[in-house]
Amino acid sequence: MDDKPASPVDKNPWDTLRRFTNARIALGRAGSSLPTAPLLAFNLSHAQARDAVHQPLDTAALHDALRAAGFDTLDAASAAPDRDHYLRRPDLGRTLSEESAAALAAHGKALHEAPDVVFVVADGLSAYAAARHATPFLDALRPALDGWKVGTTVVATQARVALGDGIGELLRARIVVVLIGERPGLSSPDSLGIYLTWEPRIGRSDAERNCISNVRPEGLAYAPAAFKLRYLLNEARRLKLTGVGLKDDSDTLLAASAKSGGAIDSQ
């Protein structure tokens, strides 16, 4: 006779679908509440998301990693003097500090040749994302940069996406690519966003950018994200624009590549 007590948790009939997603589905039920395990997991994820917003970016470690990967680097900071101002005043995060603007302007004037593309690695709303994913992503992108004049990579703190417009303008870049920590979710505290802007200058709108979102091993992995960016870079240079006028058809090429069993060049 089996004396093992019955489980107090009622399983959800969709339980088998959980292996396909990190979304909180089919968690079961204990009376009128969640079971203890998913409740604790939710509290942990919530704490990780909050930590991601407030954790400062280790710029020294990021500079070391980028330089070891072969990328020259510079520092920049927004006009937000601290994290509190950054979170309460988004406008300050879109504007360079006076010191950074002066330093970048001097660097840009000293260039013998304007770069085709400048990369900005920014903390955004998740320093975890920039610290963990920017360097390996750029390393995956490296083969696509043959034939491109790549400018100095800028590590930016207390930064919003639009900070890249001023950086790109001062460094005379034809294209700026901002790699920035996205707003953390309850299953993704370290999601990296990539924003591409043709002829960056202060005053560009979000409609003039293209975005690749959720770049991380658990989301859009480095290789397909690099393929997408390579496609967009080539198309931006060909069409001389980004934003709503530039459509991302890279998925069609990836599907054709998978069907043919070979690699397809995105130009």
55-90: b or e for each residue (b if 16 or more CB lie within 10 Å)?
bebebeebbebbeeeebebbebbbbbeebeebeebe
Give the β-pairing of 175-181 and 192-198. Answer: antiparallel
**Residue whose entry in the numeric block shows the structure tokens 């460094």:** 171
- Per this entry, what is the length of the chain? 267
Query: Residue 22 carries which DSSP code?
Result: S
Which amino acid, one-letter code, is at 260? S
Element (H, E) at 141: helix 127-141
Closest of 168, 78, 84 to residue 123, by C-alpha: 78
Q: Copy the structure tokens of residue 84.
A: 């509190």
> Both tokens of residue 200?
């960056």
- Residue among 114, 90, 116 at smallest CA distance from 234: 116
Binding positions for adenosylcob(III)alamin are 161, 182, 211
End-to-end C-alpha distance for the chain, whole angstroms: 70
Give residues with Cβ within 8 angstroms of 122, minimum separation 6. 130, 155, 156, 157, 159, 160, 161, 163, 164, 178, 179, 180, 181
